A = this chain, B = another copy of it.
């Protein structure tokens, strides 16, 4: 059996979201690969192949049970467990992520925020306390935080990451447009907002 690609995992997230919507809508208890793929600009073949990496979830002639496939994908993505997350940098982006509904709805729990600004620390935002970087070790240990989001400025990002790594953080989602150096034990994923826009400007510039 083969290992699913990163793109397959990203599409699994899309399937999950679509299934959650279908589940709320309650139109039918099952859906076919064609029906589900039509919601997403993905071919039904690809959807079936994506699921194939993880097992057999459908019934021939019938399709997939929406509830059961939803739960299965949720489990595959590791969302049957509650994840504790911290956000580093409480500027606009950090605040946006803290307020983002898509996190809470899954098992993604923002447990703490960190900021370097003395004016912000020990204040609460959206029910979460903002701590100074000095408290990081204590908070990450006591709240069992495994994932960190970097929403800090480029200049501060590497320093924060070094601290996170020394706190044995397991994964980092980085929004700062800078290459971070981390120990190979830590899983790092970068999201670069200008890259997404450059894809559009490139496309619009094509003849």
Contacts and interface: CB of A to CB of B under 8 A. Distances in A.
A83 to B, nearest CB: 6
A94 to B, nearest CB: 8
A108 interface: yes
Interface stretch (A57-65, A131-139, A189-197): A189-197
Contacts of A170: 204
A81 interface: yes
For the residues of A in contact with B, the DSSP-based class is: helix
Contact of A205 (B17, B77, B193, B205): B77
A128 interface: no
A158 to B, nearest CB: 13
B179 A204 contact: no
Interface residues of A, number: 57
**How many monomers of this chain does the complex have?**
2
A202 B14 CA distance: 14
A14 B204 contact: no
A114 B78 CA distance: 37
9 contacts: A17-B194, A78-B198, A92-B95, A100-B194, A103-B193, A108-B197, A147-B197, A187-B200, A187-B203
| Those 7 A-B pairs whose CB atoms lie nearest each other, nearest first | A78-B205, A92-B96, A78-B201, A93-B96, A102-B194, A13-B195, A171-B200
